[in-house]
Each structure stands twice: as C-alpha cells, then as structure tokens.
Amino acid sequence: MPIDIEIFQTIVKMPESLKTEILHYAKYLLEKHGISESSQENLEELHGYGSWVGQIFMSDDFDEPLEDLKEYM
C-alpha cells in the first residue's frame, strides 16, 4: 500500500485534536527541511532515501572478492 494512502487511512480514524497535532508537526517538518511548494523537485529527489541522500559511497573494488573468502573461491 502506498505510504500516502496508509497515512490518510490512519489520520481519518483520529479525533480532531490529534489531526491538529499532526498538521502542526507536518508543517514543522516541512519548515525544518526547507521544503515549500516551490521545492517539489527536492521532495522527489529525497523520496526513498531520506537523510542518506548524497552520503552513500561505494568502493571501487566493491565487486571484488573479500580477502577472508578467497580460499573458498
């Protein structure tokens, strides 16, 4: 199930007071991460990676066998 639908289905079940808290928190998160309606492209780039965007690096020898396993190969 897509996350948007799951979020919606959960929120619909909540009382108005909790919905208000969720709205305030969602606005806080948008502000904290500098996301506005005009930065929708940034949201699409972040989707699925969260705070790891641009921080994942792979070694040049990633596909090479490990030294410890060479005797088994």
Number of domains, the chain = 1
* Cβ-defined contacts of 8-12 (< 8 Å, 24+): none
Confidence of residue 55 (pLDDT cuts 50, 70, 90): low
Average pLDDT over residues 57-72: 75
pLDDT at 17 over 70: yes
Task: Indicate whether 57 belongs to any domain.
Answer: no
Structural domain containing residue 31: 14-49
What is the reported pTM?
Answer: 0.45
pLDDT at site 38: 55
The answer to whether 3 and 11 have CB atoms below 8 angstroms apart is: no
Dihedral Cα 35, 37, 41, 44, nearest 10 deg: 70
Task: Indicate whether 19 belongs to any domain.
Answer: yes
Task: Indicate whether 4 belongs to any domain.
Answer: no
At 72, list the tokens: 């088994």
Between CA 5 and CA 3 the distance in angstroms is: 5
